[in-house]
Structure 1
Amino acid sequence: MTKPLSATLPLLDLDRVLRFSLYSRWAFSAVLGSSLLVFYSMQLALPLLPLAAVAASMAGVNLWLSRNWRNGRPAQWLLALGLLLDILALAIVLGLTGGASNPLAVLFLLPLVMAALVCPPRFSWWLTAQATGLYLMLFFWYLPLPAEQHTGHGDHEALFNMHLVGMWLTFALSAGLITACVSRLVRILGERERRLNQAYQRQDTDERLLVLAMEAASLTHQLSTPLNNLFLLNEELRETSNLPDEVQEDLQLAHAQLKQCAEILSRLKHQSQAEQEPVWLYRALGERLAQWQNLRPEVRVEWQRPAASQDREVRLSPLFWPALFNILNNAADAGEGRIDLHTRLHRNGDWELGVHNRSGVLSEAQLRRAGLDQFDSVKPAGLGLGVWLSHATLSRLNGRLELSNHAEGGVYARILLPLEFIS
């Protein structure tokens, strides 16, 4: 039975469904046990000992199912076995308490409803056939209720009224359990669908990132040759005699810039092998900002650096820095040569960075889609591929990026990143 179940079971969180069925079985065992105590106190002539054995057996089987689930047995197999045992236990209880005339016979529907919702059609129909056969047997093999044993040709009206009351109570119990079961399973299915949609979105993002990574790798390889040629030309020119001092200074600057380009290409080549590394948070941010401003000397970054005593050692993925620089470049292109940077450590371990450029406004459509899709960048808002890449990278690091129009003008980018502290 296990193979068809695993092959055809619908896309549900079976662990949560199994947990719900275990709780329901505990509740049924408790209700049956409590009812036996009431029957005993009322001195009803019922087979209390066999019924108590059924209640204890259900509790024992439920405990066995729970332990097997915790030990890694397949949830779908345990769920199917539990539903079958529910049918058998209910048939025994009904056989000891009046057979098919017992209003509790409607409880046969509960395991069948759950099987129809979470099990393959073949197993559901097989379980329905078993329940139907057992119900039919209860017409012929059962122990009559005490009222039926002592009622001859009189007082049939009292017996009928008791049967009607039992039917009403059974309907109320069944309606509540079915509503709870179906609504719970529908919520589980809805949550599963939401997670699937998120997984599809992440897969689409991963595919787009893969394409960009392949393009970046190809461009990196193509840039290596002209960069090496420029290094050789720079060396030859620097060895040329009788060059003015101004030209020598320009060649030294060009050599430094070429060396920096080579370092950037080298980091790009090894980016896929990047791992989290321990750094001092604000010290690393200051060093990275200094490197970035060497490339963008026309931009002024206003950042009130926290005191050294507030710095913390953390594990930070190197992937974070390109995401931050994309935001900074976007703000620098859209702004007026000035960026305000705000940093703050939250008590829950999140690191907040705010990047505010003083120019441009995002439209309502851009605000709705900000950070989620690629835009055609229209200055001064400047919302394009870099922002989309930053959003995708931060999402992979369990962080997020939020964009909004600032009350004082311009666009405000808010970055939240969970950190792993070392000390």
Structure 2
Amino acid sequence: MTQLRSASLPLLELNHVLRFSLYSRWMFVAVLGSSTLVFYLLHLNLPLLPLAAVAIGVAVINLWLNRDWRLGRPVRRLLACGLLLDVLALGLVLGLTGGASNPLAVLFLLPLMMAALVCSPGVAWGLTGIATGLYLLLFFWHLPLPAGEHGGHEALFNLHLVGMWLTFALSAGLITSCVSRLVRILGERERRLNQAYRRQDSDERLLVLAMEAASLTHQLSTPLNNLFLLNEELRETPDLPREVQEDLQLAHSQLEQCADILSRLKSQSQAEREPVRLYRTLGERLAQWQNLRPEVRVEWQHSNMAQDRTVRLSPLFWPALFNILNNAADAGEGRIELHTRFHTNGDWELGVHNRTGVLSEAQLRRAGLDQFDSDKPAGLGLGVWLSHATLSRLNGRLELSNHAEGGVYARILLPLEPIS
């Protein structure tokens, strides 16, 4: 089994292990206390008061460990102290109930196994040395178990056999619960690592695209400026026909729009969350987008505009949204339905529905996670992948599905930071 060291375990997982350790110690206290009560009722000649004192002492120290955990004390130190308490308490109980001949002595392996799994090598070997020394001392210092009035050695042997069975049952239960819990923690950690690897891969791809976009932006600036100069010279040419003047004016306005887009592209890398009136800004952005795509008809079904809110919204959201809108417009033959509403928890939902096309099962499984070739009218490509990556970085998500009424439905869910 691969051993996990505390230095490599995240704090959240260490907290789970510590909680399990505290619960297991309460189980030990309950078993020891109830056994002491049974011994008293059966009038067995055992040191009941020392056994009760051990149970009370473990309970008090466990309460102290639990309090320190709630107060935010170092989890690794609390884990080591708790495992040391387990070893010492077990040694005391064994010393009071037969010493090394008590079959419960194998329970020394449980805290040592826990230490090997979650503690540093120094702590694990230190506890192993302490447990080994205590076990050796139990051969020479212990109180013998009472043989009873009848039976003598036979009664002790039967008691030993019963103790071996109880030890096996207890060890099997604790080992199963402990290992199962640690395996679940390890599985959760593996899942998070896989998510981190996927996000790192996505970030690297985004970084490559961002660098390429920055390079292309710089390269486009020079020819764009040259086109401005040529346009100005042509407009100053005398005796131009009216139609040519109008075309040159239109070309000038288009060049200005291109320059504005490049300027916004350059400044977006330093963009921060800015306060905006959400629905009003969305309406303005949609109007700008429709100026570029006048053939697209957008039907926006939203809640009452009086419920518009001022929120902090990253400017990175808008390119992600328009990637989805462009994809829907291409697939939906120029018609898009837009649905917006606020959730009770403050999240904002925006749905984009085009009535044409359908996603295959493979596309539904991969939608938003991988870049793959577009296949209109239901194609998904680089734009959707970039939108998914951007929304993920904004703590939102993008879901694609086939709509019951036909077409493809893109659901964007985005947590917003309100401004009071």
Pairwise CA distance, 1:258 = 2.1
Alignment of 1:188-199 (within 5 A): 188-199=185-196
Q: 2:257 aligns with which of 248, 254, 260?
A: 260
- Residue 269 of structure 2 corresponds to 272
Q: Name the CA distance, whole Å, in 1 between partners of 2:9 and 2:138.
A: 32
Pairwise CA distance, 1:358 = 2.9
The range that moved more, 205-214 or 377-386, is 377-386
- Residue 175 of structure 2 corresponds to 178
Pairwise CA distance, 1:110 = 1.3
Pairwise CA distance, 1:128 = 3.6
- Residue 78 of structure 1 corresponds to 78
The range that moved more, 187-196 or 325-334, is 325-334
**Secondary structure of the structure 1 residue equivalent to 2:276:** strand
- Residue 395 of structure 2 corresponds to 398
Q: 1:331 to 1:300 in 2, by over 3 A?
A: same
The range that moved more, 353-362 or 211-220, is 353-362
Pairwise CA distance, 1:5 = 5.9
Pairwise CA distance, 1:187 = 0.6
Q: Which runs of 5+ in 2 are unaligned?
A: none
- Residue 215 of structure 1 corresponds to 212
Q: Name the CA distance, whole Å, in 2 between partners of 1:255 and 1:411.
A: 38
- Residue 382 of structure 2 corresponds to 385
Q: Name the CA distance, whole Å, in 2 between partners of 1:308 and 1:26.
A: 57
- Residue 14 of structure 2 corresponds to 14
Alignment of 1:329-408 (within 5 A): 329-408=326-405
Q: Name the CA distance, whole Å, in 2 between partners of 1:316 and 1:10.
A: 31
Alignment of 1:273-288 (within 5 A): 273-288=270-285
| Count of residue pairs the alignment pairs up | 417
Alignment of 1:104-123 (within 5 A): 104-119=104-119
Pairwise CA distance, 1:364 = 2.7
> What percent identity do the matched residue pairs reach?
83
Q: Which runs of 5+ in 1 are unaligned?
A: none
Pairwise CA distance, 1:39 = 4.2
C-alpha contact 2:6 2:120 (8 A) present in aligned 1? no
Compute the TM-score of the two structures, normalised by the length of structure 1: 0.88
Compute the TM-score of the two structures, normalised by the length of structure 2: 0.89
Q: 1:168 aligns with which of 165, 168, 186?
A: 165
Q: Name the CA distance, whole Å, in 2 between partners of 1:393 and 1:284.
A: 19
Pair 1:419 & 2:416 matched: yes
- Residue 303 of structure 2 corresponds to 306
- Residue 134 of structure 2 corresponds to 134
Pairwise CA distance, 1:313 = 2.3
Alignment of 1:21-32 (within 5 A): 21-32=21-32
The CA deviation string for residues 107-144 of structure 1, in whole angstroms up to 9 with x for no partner, is 21211222333345665455444423322321221012
C-alpha contact 1:10 1:120 (8 A) present in aligned 2? no
Pairwise CA distance, 1:183 = 0.7
Q: Name the CA distance, whole Å, in 2 between partners of 1:69 and 1:405.
A: 49
Q: Name the CA distance, whole Å, in 1 between partners of 2:288 and 2:311.
A: 21
The CA deviation string for residues 182-229 of structure 1, in whole angstroms up to 9 with x for no partner, is 111111111111111111100000000000010011111111112222
C-alpha contact 1:12 1:118 (8 A) present in aligned 2? no
The CA deviation string for residues 278-308 of structure 1, in whole angstroms up to 9 with x for no partner, is 2222211111110100111111112234322
**Secondary structure of the structure 1 residue equivalent to 2:269:** helix
Q: Name the CA distance, whole Å, in 1 between partners of 2:43 and 2:269.
A: 77
Q: 1:9 to 1:313 in 2, by over 3 A?
A: closer
Q: Name the CA distance, whole Å, in 1 between partners of 2:131 and 2:63.
A: 24
The range that moved more, 70-79 or 225-234, is 70-79
Q: Name the CA distance, whole Å, in 1 between partners of 2:99 and 2:152.
A: 20
Q: Name the CA distance, whole Å, in 1 between partners of 2:247 and 2:21.
A: 77
Pairwise CA distance, 1:25 = 1.9
Q: Name the CA distance, whole Å, in 2 between partners of 1:32 and 1:154.
A: 26
The range that moved more, 23-32 or 124-133, is 124-133
Q: 1:37 to 1:398 in 2, by over 3 A?
A: same
Q: 1:398 to 1:8 in 2, by over 3 A?
A: closer
* Aligned residue type for 1:142: H
Q: 1:306 to 1:245 in 2, by over 3 A?
A: farther
Q: 1:273 to 1:67 in 2, by over 3 A?
A: farther
**Secondary structure of the structure 1 residue equivalent to 2:344:** coil
Q: 1:243 to 1:306 in 2, by over 3 A?
A: farther
**Secondary structure of the structure 1 residue equivalent to 2:337:** strand
Q: Name the CA distance, whole Å, in 2 between partners of 1:76 and 1:253.
A: 70
Pairwise CA distance, 1:54 = 2.8
Pair 1:324 & 2:321 matched: yes
